Structure 1
Amino acid sequence: MTEHLQFKDSNPGAVKYGNFINYYQFHPPEERIGLLPKDIWVQNSNDFLALDIGCNSGDLTFALWKFLKSAVMQDVFFLAVDIDPVLIERAKEANKDNRICFHCLDIVDETNRNHVINNYLQLKNAVQFDAVFCFSTTMWIHLNHGDIGLKVFLSYISKLGKLLVIEPQPWKCYKSALKRVKDKTIFPYFQTLKIRGNIESEIEKYLVEEIGLVKVFDSERTNWDRKIMIFK
């Protein structure tokens, strides 16, 4: 089995890419599902296609699949990706439906992501997903690739689907991530970040003013103090 993507640190909650091994014990999928609107998902003449970026071990992906099936009343197909091969292997082992496909992928790796995502869309005779989900992933992109990397990522995922569902981590999570690690150089971009403070507002501003999306939904906050935003 491929080695779990975690750096050496005595703290089991210290990870570089957000690939926590027991994430859903502390962030149950049901809470996020309960915050999602039921009337925003657009049916089409073909199957409903969704992409889950940073799917971890797949618990939330499974819950999203069931939720969307009841919301759109048609077949729903999911491509779910994560950087960690061990978590993807767990997701595959738990997967009971061939309409959900898990793939190990670093979403910022342009060559590999184009191969995986474009091939999937071609197989489905589609040019876009109906919905793209990105839950608590933006901070890890930001910490590992800086302000420019975050903007490039947001620009990329904004073009992948008709709807973009995004749950950014607030600034306090950045400070917590840094506090967990002994080696402060593990996130070399942290000190140089200019996008800081109100991360949610900064991401919304970029998606609306720079990319040209329209925000159509704001959720209440989860118990772990995050909100879900939906753009089209």
Structure 2
Amino acid sequence: MNLEKDLKFQGNDPGAVRFGNFINYYSFYPPNERIERLPKNIWKTEDIIYHCLDVGCNTGDLTQAFSSFLCRYGNQNKILGIDIDPTLIDRAKEQNTTDIKFVCIDIMSSDGYDFIQTYLNNIGLKKFQIVTCFSVTMWIHLNHGDAGLKTFLERMSNLAEVLVIEAQPWKCYKSAVKRMKKSKNNFQHFQFLKYRENIVKDIEDILIQQCKRIKITETEDTKWGRKTLFFR
């Protein structure tokens, strides 16, 4: 039994997990809170098929909500949702009412990244029209360090025409580290991180300066204090 994944949300404490793979995540962070803040003027309105990648999809609730959001503009969409946790992917498949494809892969592994490249080749594309990363960057950063975060952002940039990033602020890092210590575990990279208090701005700078992305817009903060950034 995986005790970490069996932890339930109690009050405002979601428990401790290493990869953000909370089993009841969307009871804590409801999808509509993000969807209602998405900009309305950056999506193509002609009849097209959006091919999208949702990184860190958890049980797929937000993935399905985003699919419905795109349909409001008359556009079909084909979304690939990926997550590192096989239990979450199984649940996503069980409750999926669309043709979204859910796959368990680690995007930071060479096999995981190769899978994405092969998927694109099979549908005849070099990039997804949209790649979404909602509250994923902190877990990449804590588990792979500064170099891993930059690698992740470079990979996402290479995969996306439009890149959607909701990055956790520094206070979330401190909370995650504290919860992990309570479970007698730790994030070994944490004390060596150079990107720290201004991490959201650091991520924006990496994408603009190193990945040569252009920032389109950003949303207002959610109720839990996170904004979503959009890059072309």
Please give the TM-score of this superposition, normalised by the length of structure 1: 0.91
Distance 1:141 1:44 in 2: 35
Q: How does 1:26-175 map to 2 (within 5 A)?
A: 26-42=28-44, 47-71=49-73, 73-98=74-99, 100-115=100-115, 117-175=116-174
Q: Deviation of residue 167 (structure 1)?
A: 0.3
> Helix, strand or coil: the match of 2:35?
helix
Partner of 1:190: 190
> Helix, strand or coil: the match of 2:126?
coil
Q: Note the alpha carbon deviations across 1:93-150, whole angstroms, 9 max, x for none.
A: 011222x1000011101223212x1232223221110000000000000000000000
Q: Is the Cα–Cα contact under 8 Å of residues 29 and 60 in structure 1 kept in the other structure?
A: yes
Q: Deviation of residue 178 (structure 1)?
A: 0.9
Q: Is the Cα–Cα contact under 8 Å of residues 145 and 193 in structure 2 kept in the other structure?
A: yes
Q: Deviation of residue 183 (structure 1)?
A: 5.4
Q: Is the Cα–Cα contact under 8 Å of residues 33 and 63 in structure 1 kept in the other structure?
A: yes
Q: Deviation of residue 198 (structure 1)?
A: 1.3
Q: Deviation of residue 6 (structure 1)?
A: 3.7
Q: Is the Cα–Cα contact under 8 Å of residues 47 and 76 in structure 2 kept in the other structure?
A: no
Q: Deviation of residue 42 (structure 1)?
A: 3.3
> Helix, strand or coil: the match of 2:194?
coil
Gaps of 5+ in 1: none
Structure 1 segments of 4+ aligned residues over 4 angstroms from their partners: 7-12, 43-46
AA matched with 2:110: E
Q: CA RMSD in A?
A: 2.1
Q: Is the Cα–Cα contact under 8 Å of residues 4 and 86 in structure 1 kept in the other structure?
A: no
AA matched with 2:15: G
Distance 1:43 1:223, change over 3 A: same
Distance 2:185 2:144 in 1: 13
Please give the TM-score of this superposition, normalised by the length of structure 2: 0.91
AA matched with 2:137: T
Distance 1:74 1:210 in 2: 32
Partner of 1:215: 215
